[in-house]
């Protein structure tokens, strides 16, 4: 399906504008960083690394920008491109603002290359692609299990009952998550007495980060609040509520780089009223902004551990930051990745072999 999207998008682009496009390579890997394709544009053969993503309107765009940046760096290419089935006019404007170049199968495009500036939006999609079968490992309940595996890859070798207890899901869930990871190429059975092994941990991390805000986080949302001053959280001992800071505040405590404006909290749902009253927060509308910033509270979906007692772990902090699409948060997410996640992924699991 992905190759079909790439070829149709190139055909649509060249029908729209007189531009030479060549596919130089497909599924190119350097270490654990994989590009879906390498293409060249224009008479100067400007190289691009390509991320092919069906239904980009449902993507975590911030995570996609960061993913393309990493792929570009490791492939030694200055430009990245999203290739997808369809980009509506509103999404096209968002992608352009993020400086994320794209082409789609309807001929819509944003390209900013030497001697080639192209911006086309508003073309309608004439032919829908057939939806692919859902992988249940990346549906809401499965994402809880995958998150636990990302934090502790050796967990895949524990009994299903133990995994269910750790992740707080039903026993029957574990089997189809395992099967989904095998089908997607992230889990390998090494044979009798050798157990299982997660592979391509970088790819699994990226897929989880992309799916989390769209599939799981929105189901965890307990509401939006505001406080009387922008640093209300300084006097709050978050551990007293069985809660942790997420998002910008967690990133500040991990990197000391960003000045938090919006605050994210994860807590057990049963402690919500106690926390809101104790912190003297007042309820706001979902999209209502205040000078003090907003406080977004989410139900804690994992079993508490002792590694990160005040903040979400770097994986979830990164996902919170990239889901906003805010350039300031994306820059901070890059630091979180470089300081914590990159070293962890390199030292924890091998790539595909």
Domains of the chain: 2-120 (3.40.1350), 136-199 (1.10.10.10), 216-345 (3.30.460)
Q: Where are the beta strands (DSSP E) in the chain?
A: 21-30, 33-41, 46-52, 79-84, 101-104, 109-113, 116-120, 187-189, 196-198, 221-226, 244-246, 263-267, 282-283, 295-299
42 Cβ contact partners less than 8 Å away, ≥ 6 residues apart: 19, 20, 113, 114, 115, 116
Residue 68 has pLDDT above 70, yes or no: yes
Strand partners, 244: 266
189 Cβ contact partners less than 8 Å away, ≥ 6 residues apart: 182, 196
Q: How far apart are CA 51 and CA 40, in angstroms?
A: 14
Name the pLDDT band for 221 (thresholds 50, 70, 90): very high
The dihedral region occupied by 236, where left means phi > 0, alpha psi between -120 and 50, and beta the remainder, is beta
Name the pLDDT band for 292 (thresholds 50, 70, 90): low
Specify the length of the chain in residues: 353
CB atoms within 10 A of CB 58: 11
- DSSP single-letter state for residue 128: P
317 Cβ contact partners less than 8 Å away, ≥ 6 residues apart: 246, 247, 250, 251, 254, 311, 336
Q: What is the mean predicted confidence (pLDDT) over 238-250?
A: 95
Per-residue pLDDT tens over the stretch 35-44: 899 999 988 8
Query: In this structure, what token pair is assigned to residue 309?
Result: 């007692």
Q: What is the mean predicted confidence (pLDDT) over 57-68?
A: 84
- DSSP single-letter state for residue 280: T
Per-residue pLDDT tens over the stretch 184-205: 999 999 887 788 999 989 999 9
Name the pLDDT band for 125 (thresholds 50, 70, 90): confident
The position carrying tokens 């106690």 is 274
Regarding predicted confidence, which is higher, 150 or 133?
A: 150
Q: In this structure, are residues 224 and 247 in contact, taking their beta carbons and an 8 Å threshold? A: no
* pLDDT confidence of residue 218: 92
73 Cβ contact partners less than 8 Å away, ≥ 6 residues apart: none
* pLDDT confidence of residue 305: 67
């Amino acid at each position: 399906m992905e190759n079909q999207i790439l070829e149709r998008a190139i055909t649509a682009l060249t029908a729209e504008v007189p531009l030479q496009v060549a596919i130089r390579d497909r599924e190119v890997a350097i270490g654990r960083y994989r590009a879906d394709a390498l293409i060249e544009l224009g008479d100067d053969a400007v190289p691009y690394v390509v991320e092919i993503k069906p239904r980009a309107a449902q993507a975590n765009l911030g995570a996609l920008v960061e993913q393309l940046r990493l792929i570009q760096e490791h492939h030694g290419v200055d430009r990245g491109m999203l290739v997808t089935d369809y980009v509506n006019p509103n999404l096209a404007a968002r992608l352009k603002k993020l400086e994320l170049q794209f082409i789609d199968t309807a001929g819509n495009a944003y390209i900013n290359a030497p001697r080639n500036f192209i911006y086309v939006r508003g073309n309608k999609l004439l032919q829908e692609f057939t939806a692919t079968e859902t992988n249940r490992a990346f549906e809401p309940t499965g994402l809880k299990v995958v998150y636990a595996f990302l934090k502790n890859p050796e967990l895949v070798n524990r009994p299903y009952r133990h995994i269910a207890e750790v992740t707080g899901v039903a026993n029957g869930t574990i089997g189809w998550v395992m099967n989904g990871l095998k089908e997607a190429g992230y889990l390998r059975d090494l044979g009798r007495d050798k157990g299982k092994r997660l592979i391509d941990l970088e790819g699994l991390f990226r897929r989880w980060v992309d799916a989390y805000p769209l599939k799981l986080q929105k189901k965890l949302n307990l509401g939006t609040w505001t406080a009387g001053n922008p640093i209300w959280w300084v006097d709050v001992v978050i551990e007293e509520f069985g809660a942790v800071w997420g998002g910008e505040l967690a990133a500040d405590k991990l990197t000391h780089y960003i000045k938090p404006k919006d605050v994210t909290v994860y807590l057990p749902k049963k402690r919500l009223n106690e926390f809101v009253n104790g912190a003297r927060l007042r309820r706001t509308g979902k999209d209502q902004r205040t000078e003090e910033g907003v406080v977004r509270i989410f139900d804690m979906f994992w079993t508490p551990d002792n590694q990160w007692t005040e903040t979400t772990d770097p994986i979830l902090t990164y996902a919170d930051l990239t889901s906003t699409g805010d350039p300031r948060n994306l820059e901070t997410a890059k630091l979180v990745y470089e300081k914590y996640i990159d070293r962890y992924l390199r030292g924890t699991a091998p790539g595909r072999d």
